[in-house]
A and B are shown apart, each in its own frame.
Chain A
C-alpha cells in the first residue's frame, strides 16, 4: 500500500505541471519523449525487447539460485499491466520502487525539448533534498487534555454570557418570582379547542367562505394585524407604552386644570402680579430677541409702540374717571383705595413709558409723533418734567419717576424726593423727605399729593399759559439759563430715555414750566420750615387713628417714647431734606428686659429682619412680643430656672473634679483622740495630690452640661463596631436615622421603603432561569420606537408572504 502511494505521489508531480498545457501539446510531448527514451521500455510497446529482458532476468535468477543463498526471490508471475505506466516510468518487479532519479532523468530529457518543465525539475530537486519526517501523533492523554481544555474554554465562555443577568438580579431592588410571569387573561379559542375539526358540509362551507376572506378560522378573536401586534409588542413594552400615554394624559389634565383654576381666580391682585411677571418675562425675552432675531423684535416693538400710543390717547389709567374720583374721596381714610389709585397710576406710567430699544430703533419716528401732537406730550409728560425741574431746582440728580419699570422701589429707597403737595386751589409746596422706603403714611400723602398736583397742573397749565407767556418773555434769559443748567446735569445723570423726552420738549414749553417752578421753589423755600411741622402733625393724627392699642402702662410709656423720639427726628429730617441730603436715623426702642430669652430658651429664637415699615405695624409686633414675655413670665413665675441650672452645673463640675486623697492616720506617730488636731506638716506629707483635671467639654457652653460618663445601660443598645457593608460611621448613622414607618412617612413612601427584596407567589412553581426569559427581557427595554417599526415590518412581511401561501394552497 505504501509503495503504491509513493508511486502515485511521484507520478502526480509531473502531471500537475502538464495540466497547464493544452491537450495537444501534451500528446505531442508524450510522443516526443517516448521514442527518445532508451532506458525504459514499456512492455506493451516493444515485446521483443521485453522478451530479451525476461530471459536475461531468468538467467540471472538461475545463476543466483545456484548459490542457494537467495531463496526468497522466487520466480513469480507478474501481470504486465502492473508495470505499465502512461508516463513511461517503470518499477521493475513487484519489490522495486520508482526512484526519483528515474523521473528526473526523464524530466531532463523532456526539458531539452520543452522549457516549461524546469520548474517541475526544481521542485523535484527540492523534494529530494528534504529529509524531515512527519512527527508522531500526540499521546492519547495529551490529545484528550487539549480537547478538554478547548471544551472547557468553550463552556465557560458560554456560561459567562449570564454574567450581566446575574449581576442585574443581584442588584435588583425587588425580584418577583416566578420571573416573567404572564398575567392570567382569557385564553384564546384556539388554545382551548385544539382538536375540533370541521365535519358537516355546512361547517365546511362556512370555513371555505372564511378562508376566502382570509378570516382567521381557528382564532376568531384576532385578526392577522392584531396577531402581529401581539407578537410585536411584548407585555413589558405594552406596559411601558401605556405608562407613557398615561403620563402624557395626566400632564395634559394637570395643565388644563391649572389653567382653568387660574382663569377662575377673581383676585385682581393675582392677575396683576401674573401680568407683571409676564411682562417682565417678555421684556427679558425681548432683549434676547433683539440680539438673535431683530426682525421679530421689530415687530414686537411696533406692537408695543401701538399699545403705548393707544394708552396715551386714552384717559384710561389717569385717575380721572368716576371711579378714581370716588376713590380719591375715600383715599384719605382707606389704605386700599390709595393703593388702588397708586397702582392705576403706575400702570399708566408703565404703559406710556417708552422702552429703551425703541428709542434706538425708532428715534426719528418718535420725534415726529411727539412733535405732531404736542398736546399729548403735554398731557402725560407734565408730571415728569415738572418733577425734573423741581429736583433740578433742588440740585438733585436723578428723577425716580422717569424710570418706573424696575428702578422704582430702589430709587425710592435710595433717594430723597421732593414732593409737591397742593391743596384744593392754591399750590403750596412742601419739601419733605421721602425717607428711604420710609413711613407708609408719608408715601401715601405723597401719592395723594401727586394726584392732586397732576390735576392742578393740568389746570394751571391752561390757566397760566397766558400769564406764563408774559412772564416767560420777561424772564426769558434767566429761565433759559436755569433750564439749560439743570437740563445738562440731567442728561448726565439720567438714562437715555429721559434724555429723549427732554429733547422732545419744545423750547417754549420748557421755559414756561421752568419759570413756573422757579417761582414755586422760591415759595417753597420760604414756607419750608413751618409747613414741615404741619405735615408731621397731620401724619401723627393719621397714625393715631390707625392701630394703636395700649394695654399696659409700659406700652403706653413705650409709645410715648417712640413718639418723642420720632417727632424731633422727623423735624430734623424735614430740615435736612430741605437742605440737601437724607440722614434718616434708625428708630431705637429700648425695652426693659425681665427675662433674658437667650438664657431661658434652649433654641435660638429666629430673628426676622423686617424692613422698616409703618410704626403701626411695629406696635402690633411689640404687642405680640410683650404678650409672649407675659406668658413666659407667668409660666416661670416661681422658679429661677437659670440659676438652678447654673447651680446644677457647678455641682457637676465639682463632682467631676479629681480630689486630693488624705492619707493621714490620726494617732500615727503622735497622740490622737478627740480634739487633737493632726499636725500640718504631717497632713501635707500624706496628702496625695490629685492630677490636674481634664478641661470639661462644656466649659465654654453656658447653657449645656455635657456628661462624659459612659452609661452602661445604654451601651447594650448601641453598636460598638462599624458593621460590614458600611464604610464610615456617618454612612451607618444615616442608614439608621431615616425612619421607615408610617408614623413618619406617607403611605406610598412606606410601601416603597418596606418593599421586600424577594416576592414569591403562593402556589406558583418557580422555574429555573431560562434563555427565553432573559432574551425577552433584554429585548424590551432597549428601543421604544421598535414596536411600531416591528409592527410595520410584520405587516409587510405578512402581506408579502400571504399571497404565496395562498397560491400554494390553490395549487394543491
Chain B
C-alpha cells in the first residue's frame, strides 16, 4: 500500500547561507497591492528629497600651486594621475587618490599655456609663453638626475594650446598658426592659417582622428583635416569662442565655450546653426570638457562656477560652486566618468563628483537595486510639480543669483522690444530669428 504524505522541498524555504535574505513567497495579484501609483509617487518624492540631501559633490581640493591654474590634462592610461600647469610656468603631477603632488616641474618661463599627455602615457608635452614646446617623461627623474625635458622645440611665436593625436605620433599646437608636428621633427609638418593672427585652442577629434578644430581670435571656429593642405571651413560667431571639445562618442559633434556666456554644440557638417545653445552661465565660459560617455559635458566659467550640461539640453543639470573658488579657468571630466576636476584662479584644483548624490565606494547588490529603482522613480515622476521643484532646487551664490535675474530681465526686455519693433513695422521686414540663428554671423567656406 502506498501512503501519500504532504512533503515540501527544503530548497523552497531554506536559505543557502545565513547571509542570504529570507525567501519570501510573493503574490503579485494586483488586488492585493492597491494604490500603486500613489505609493510609487511617495517613494519617488522621498527618493528625490534624499537625493538632494545627499548631494555633496565636493570631494577634495589639490592645493600646492603658487599661481592660478591655467591648464590641466588627464593621464591617458592612469585614472589616478592629473597634470596641471600654472601661470608661473610650473607643472605639477598629482596623485588623485592621495590628493597629493608627487612631482613638480618648472617647465616654462611665464604661463604654461597648454599641457597634454601622449597617448601611451609615458610622456607629456607642454607649451608656454617662452615660445617652446617641451616633451617630458612621465616618471620623475632618478636620484641625482636633473629635471630636464626629453625634447625642446623653440618656435617662432608664442604657443597658446596643444593637443595630441589619439594614436599617432603627431601633435598640434596653436598660436599664430595651427601647426601639426611630427614628434621626431623640430619643424611643423603642416601649418594652417586663414587670415587670422592668433588661435586660442586646438583640439583633435578623438573619433575621426585626423580632424581638428580650433578657436580663433576673429570669433571663429575653424575645422581642419590633418591630411589636407588647407583648412576645411570656419564659422564666425558674434563673440569669441574660448575653447572647444569634441564629443568622444559622436564623431561630428563638438561644443565650444563662448565669451557670450553660452556654449554651442555644433554638428561639424552643418555649421550654419548650432545644434544646441546651452545657456546658464552668467559670465564668459572659459573651458569645456565632455564626459567620456559623451552624454554630458562640464563647463568652467568666469562666474566662479562649474556647470554640467546634458549634451542635448539647453540648460544645466547641475551647478557647482564654493565660497572660495574664484574664476574657473580649466575643467576636466575624469576618464572613468566619476569625477570632475576644476582648476581655478586661486591656485586650487578641486575634485567634484560628477553625480552629486552618488555614493562612493563599493555598493552592495541591494544598494544597487535601490539606487536603480530610485533613479527610475525620479525619472518617472519628474514632471510632477512637487518633485520637479525639489529636484531642480539649487543653492547659488548671491552674485550669480542676482546676475541671473538681471540677465533674465535684460533678455526679456530685448525680446519685448523686438516684438514691439516687429509689431510696428511692415510685416516681414523684421524677421523672426531663433535663438540658434542669433549667434552665428557667417560661415566661411
Q: Which residues of A contact B (CB under 8 A)?
A: 144-145, 147-149, 151-152, 154-156, 158-160, 162, 166, 169, 175, 177, 716-720, 723, 732, 735-737, 739-746, 750-751, 753-756, 758, 760-770
Contact = CB atoms under 8 A, between A and B. Distances in A.
Contact of A155 (B43, B211, B335, B372): B211
Given A148-B231, A768-B292, A770-B207, A717 B41 contact: yes
A758 B293 contact: yes
B51 interface: no
Interface in B217-243: 223, 225, 228-233
A737 B250 CA distance: 35
B130 to A, nearest CB: 32
A740 B338 CA distance: 27
Contact of B232 (A151, A718, A768): A151
Contacts of A740: 40, 373, 376-377, 380
Interface in B350-385: 362, 369, 372-373, 375-377, 380-381, 383-385
Interface stretch (B5-13, B25-33, B107-115): B25-33
22 contacts: A147-B229, A147-B230, A154-B225, A156-B269, A159-B251, A160-B252, A162-B208, A717-B41, A736-B381, A739-B37, A740-B40, A743-B33, A744-B28, A746-B28, A754-B369, A756-B375, A760-B338, A764-B336, A765-B335, A766-B335, A768-B166, A768-B292
Contacts of A162: 207-208, 250-252
B416 interface: no
B79 interface: yes
Which of B33, B250, B338, B386 has the most CB atoms of chain A within a 10 A radius of its CB? Answer: B250
A155 B225 contact: yes
Contacts of B252: 156, 159-160, 162
A735 B377 CA distance: 11
B295 interface: yes
A626 to B, nearest CB: 26
Contacts of B36: 737, 739, 741, 743-744
A788 B249 CA distance: 33
B336 A762 contact: yes
A503 B442 CA distance: 102
Contacts of A754: 369, 372-373, 375-376
Contact of B225 (A144, A151, A764, A768): A151
B202 interface: no
A767 B268 CA distance: 21
Contact of B384 (A718, A760, A769): A718
B206 interface: yes
B229 A159 contact: no
Contacts of A768: 166, 206-207, 248-249, 292
B251 A743 contact: no
Which of B28, B36, B362, B369 has the most CB atoms of chain A within a 10 A radius of its CB? Answer: B36
Interface residues of B, number: 54
B292 A166 contact: no
Contacts, number: 153
Nearest to A720: B385
Nearest to A770: B207
A726 to B, nearest CB: 9
A144 B444 CA distance: 12
Contacts of B250: 162, 166, 169, 769
A152 B232 CA distance: 5
A275 B39 CA distance: 51
A719 B293 contact: no
A763 B208 contact: no
Given A739-B36, A740-B373, A746-B28, A717 B386 contact: yes
Interface string B176-216: 00000000000000000000000000000011100100000
Contacts of A166: 249-251
A267 to B, nearest CB: 15
Nearest to A745: B28
B269 A159 contact: yes
A37 B381 CA distance: 106
Which of A151, A718, A746 has the most CB atoms of chain B within a 10 A radius of its CB? Answer: A151
A169 B232 contact: no
A149 to B, nearest CB: 6
Going nearest first, the 5 A-B pairs with the smallest beta carbon separation are A768-B206, A766-B292, A768-B248, A723-B383, A739-B36
B337 interface: yes
Interface in B324-365: 335-338, 362
Nearest to A143: B230
Given A159-B269, A718-B384, A765-B336, A148 B372 contact: no
A177 B376 contact: no
A148 B233 contact: yes
B211 A758 contact: no
B445 interface: yes
Nearest to A738: B36
Contacts of B231: 148
A766 B383 contact: no
A719 B79 contact: no
Contacts of B337: 177, 760, 766
A762 B338 CA distance: 8
A770 B168 CA distance: 13
A765 B77 contact: yes
Given A147-B228, A162-B252, 17 more contacts: A149-B445, A152-B223, A152-B232, A159-B252, A169-B250, A719-B384, A720-B385, A736-B37, A739-B39, A739-B40, A741-B40, A741-B43, A741-B377, A744-B28, A750-B369, A754-B375, A763-B336
Which of A159, A162, A736 has the most CB atoms of chain B within a 10 A radius of its CB? Answer: A159
A760 to B, nearest CB: 5
Contact of A744 (B30, B208, B386): B30
A723 B228 CA distance: 47
A169 B249 contact: yes
Nearest to A723: B383
B328 to A, nearest CB: 24
Nearest to A755: B372
A159 B293 contact: no
A105 to B, nearest CB: 51
Nearest to B36: A739
A717 B385 contact: yes
Nearest to A152: B232
Contacts of B207: 162, 768-770
Contacts of B232: 148, 151-152, 155
A151 B211 CA distance: 11
